[in-house]
Amino acid sequence: MQSVPMEFYLIVSGVIFTIGTIGVLTRRNAIIIFMSIELMLNSVNLTFVAFSAFLGDIAGQIFVFFIMAVAAGEATIGLAIVLALFRKKQTVYVDEANSIKW
């Protein structure tokens, strides 16, 4: 079955991963850092699905299923931590949450 070459998928995935990394490194808002982590997870999913479709191996799509389950768990825990942080410090900026830094 004809398709776009595989390199294109890998490049798009790499670009999205890089954007996610830049978001984690440059933003202060914990929720946006969290969304950048979701971007990185999604770019990895795209790589997995591309390899799975081009090599005809189902393991990649099974992995994507597990990554999504882990991402859902991470979303609940991460947002609960953000809520607890906001309740304690009235902020979601990660550079103001520095009470165990010395």
Partner 1 sequence: MSLLYFFFAILSILAIASAIITITSKNPVRSAFALVVHFFMLAGLYLTLNAQFVAVIQVLVYAGAIMVLVIFVIMLLNLTDEKRLNEKFNFRIILAILFGIAFVAQIAFISFAKNPLNVNLHQNSATIGTAQSIGTALYTNYLVPFEVVGILLVVAIIGAIVLAKRKVN
Q: Does 34 bind partner 1 (CB under 8 A)?
A: yes
The site map against partner 1 for 44-73 (x = CB under 8 A) is: -xx--xx-xxxxxxx--xx-xxx-xxxxxx
Which pair of tokens denotes residue 43? 């770019």
Q: How far, in whole angstroms, is CA 9 from its chain's centroid?
A: 17
Cβ nearer to partner 1, comparing 52 with 97 = 52
Instruction: Provide the minimum distance between the beta carbon of 30 and partner 1 in the complex, in angstroms, as a whole number.
Output: 10
Q: Does 101 bind partner 1 (CB under 8 A)?
A: no
What is the Cα–Cα distance from 85 to 97, expressed in whole angstroms? 8
At residue 39's C-alpha, the angle toward residues 52 and 64, to 5°, is 30
Instruction: Provide the minimum distance between the beta carbon of 74 and partner 1 in the complex, in angstroms, as a whole number.
Output: 8
In the numeric block, the tokens 């914990």 are attached to 30
Q: What are phi and psi of 97, to 5 degrees?
A: -95, 80
Q: Does 95 bind partner 1 (CB under 8 A)?
A: yes
What is the Cα–Cα distance from 89 to 94, expressed in whole angstroms? 11
Q: Between residue 71 and residue 90, which ones bind partner 1 under the rule CB under 8 A? A: 71-77, 79-84, 86-87
